[in-house]
Amino acid sequence: MKTNENILALHLSHHGTATYVENKKIIFHTQLDRYNRIKNSSLPSYTLDKILENLDIDTLIITNLKSSSVDDWKYIFKNRYHWKQKWKKIKFIDYNFSIHHLFHAYCSLLWKDIGDRGTIFVHDGGGAISKNNIEEKETAFSFNDSKVKQLFLDNNPYGYNYRMTADKLFRADHQEGKLMALSNYGGYDNKFENTDIVSEDAILQSNNESKNLAFTRQTLLENNFFDTFKKHGIKKENITFTGGVTQNVLLNSKIQKDISTKAFFDPLNSDHGITLGAINYYLKNKLEKIDNVYLGIKQNLDLSIFNNYKIKDVSSDDIAKIVFDEPVAIFQSRSEQGQRGLGNRSLLMNPFNKTCQQKVNDIKKREWYRPFATSILEEDFNKWFETNDVKNSPHMMSVFKIRDTYVDKMYSGFSIYNESRVQTVNKKDNLNFYNVLKSFKKKYKLPMLLNTSLNMPGEVLVETLYDLKEMFENTKLKYVYIPELDKLIIDENTNVNN
């Protein structure tokens, strides 16, 4: 391992990513589907390839699962001129399918919040095959500074079963979030303990079978997790959770209540974090620590492609006035990674406005059972929500009940149980988004906004300005705020009711 080594890592299975590191510092970390525009895909794209081939690379790390796009990328490496020149000099490491949960753990070790010792619990739909021919489903690791030790390996299939039910019910891959949302509307039905077959698979409000299936499978997921956790006697102090099951915010909230209010949930818990973990593993946990998810490739904010739109100078105070009545997108140079829009690729509106749900959904077309999330000033978090001693929630990794005092004031951003998936925002993590929330509070005495990811229905988050323009052209989006330029882009062809 050389000093000042430049490393590119690619994860080439579902939730593929690219991470580039110079001298142990993360230059960028991005999801591959943000560029190929095919959700959850790791296929190459011309735009990203042009960025990667111009990097100074000493070491290339490849990771993948059983199903992958490795051959597609290798074809590029062998046939594109710049890659052919680089290939003669690059050190190549192929981790293949030999390590997976350990990479999840090493990704979690990057977070400043978890300290220098504790336990990492990885639970996933699957992973690598161990020497004992056991596929990773749940794994725990202890860590003390740079020393990582596996505590146990289990293969309780609760994560896998949950995913299979979701994919079958919604007829697409990786639909766990929809199953979780639908579970709020159902009740427990014993018949769904051993089957996920419903007589009518349409997800209608009148279809109690689908709702009860979702509720039952959510309950089984939670019960199996707690049984596994108790079975292995895992220490509750300094506990971190990662792996795909950690996307389940309902389970996370029960973990906070029943295990530890200080539990940390890695926001890059799915395979979106694997390349970060692979590089940190290769560097023996010496990769520079991180404290936020705004790791995307810096975007050129040249607004000349919007010459047919109105562009005006604005401040956060101006945005506060508009967002009171209308949805406003916020777009900043470096995108957040993971599955949440956290203020750099977000669509915002006032949740205290009676028309909020309808207006936002005219753009998003979200299903009836999927609630939107909220973002609130961190200093007002405990005042508005029952936090149970949880200090903050910067990555929307759990849900919190709105205090009874405020329930009747809100019209959107919460579930039928008056719970909201909350992002707390402070000045350090996201100054521009913080300023919008601060301006909104100053003008209306309200410290929060509805926040949903900036993407077209069923599509990947907007990444570039060209993606943003496509969203303008294909939805009812009218306003986009570019805070780094103090500019507002307005589509004057979109009608809104003021």
Single-letter code of the amino acid located at 44: P
Residue 201 in this model has a pLDDT that exceeds 80: no
Is the pLDDT at 2 greater than 70? The verdict is no
Please give the single-letter amino acid code of residue 492: E
Task: Specify the pLDDT at position 133.
Answer: 83
Q: Predicted confidence band at 66 (pLDDT cuts at 50, 70, 90)?
A: confident
Q: Is the pLDDT of residue 202 over 80?
A: no
pLDDT tens-digit series, residues 106-149: 999 999 989 889 999 999 998 888 777 888 999 999 999 878 99
Tokens of 118: 């504790």
Q: For 421-444, write each residue's pLDDT tens digit.
A: 999 999 999 999 999 999 999 999
Q: Helical H runs in 44-157? A: 46-53, 70-79, 81-87, 101-108
The distance from CA 474 to its chain's CA centroid, rounded to whole angstroms, is 24
Angle of CA points 426, 243, 377, to nearest 5°:
15
Q: Does the pLDDT of residue 310 top 50, yes or no?
A: yes
Measure CA 200 to chain center. Answer: 31
Tens digit of pLDDT for each residue in 456-476?
A: 998 999 999 999 999 999 999
Report the SS3 class of residue 261. coil
Residue 267 has pLDDT above 60, yes or no: yes
- 233 conformational bin, left if phi > 0, alpha if psi -120 to 50, beta if neither: left
Task: Report the pLDDT value the prediction gives residue 427, as an integer from 0 to 100.
Answer: 97
CA distances from 148 to 119, 164, 166, 233, 392 (A): 9, 31, 34, 18, 27
- Total Cβ atoms within 10 A of residue 142: 17
Mean pLDDT, the chain, as a whole number?
A: 95
Top mean pLDDT of 204-208, 413-417, 487-491 is at 487-491
Evaluate if residue 497 carries a pLDDT over 70.
no
The angle formed by the CA atoms of residues 298, 244 and 330, to the nearest 5 degrees, is 35
Question: In the block, which residue shows the tokens 């299975």?
Answer: 13
Write out pLDDT tens, residues 313-366: 999 999 999 999 999 999 999 999 999 999 999 999 999 999 999 999 999 999
Least confident range from 64-78, 255-269, 280-294, 478-492: namely 64-78
Is the per-residue pLDDT at 1 higher than 70? Answer: no
List of residues 6+ apart from 7 with CB closer than 8 A: 19, 20, 21, 57, 58, 59, 60, 61, 279, 282, 283
pLDDT of residue 275: 98
Name beta bridge partners: 144: 117, 147
Provide the pLDDT confidence category of residue 498 given band limits of 50, 70 and 90. very low
| Residue 419: band (very low, low, confident or very high) from pLDDT cuts 50, 70, 90 | very high
Query: Contact, 215 vs 188, CB < 8 A?
Result: yes
Residue 170 has phi, psi (to 5 degrees) of: -100, 0
Q: Are 110 and 103 in contact (CB under 8 A)?
A: no
Q: Which amino acid is at 437?
A: L
Give the SS3 label for residue 139. Answer: strand
Q: Which of 389, 378, 375, 382 is nearest to 448 (CA)?
A: 375
The fraction of the chain above a pLDDT of 90, given in percent, is: 89
- What's the CA gap between 313 and 490, in Å, rounded? 11
Residues 429-467 as b or e (16 or more Cβ within 10 Å = b): bbebbbbbbbbbbeeeebbbbbbbbbbbeebbbbbbbeb
Q: What is the pLDDT of residue 496?
A: 59
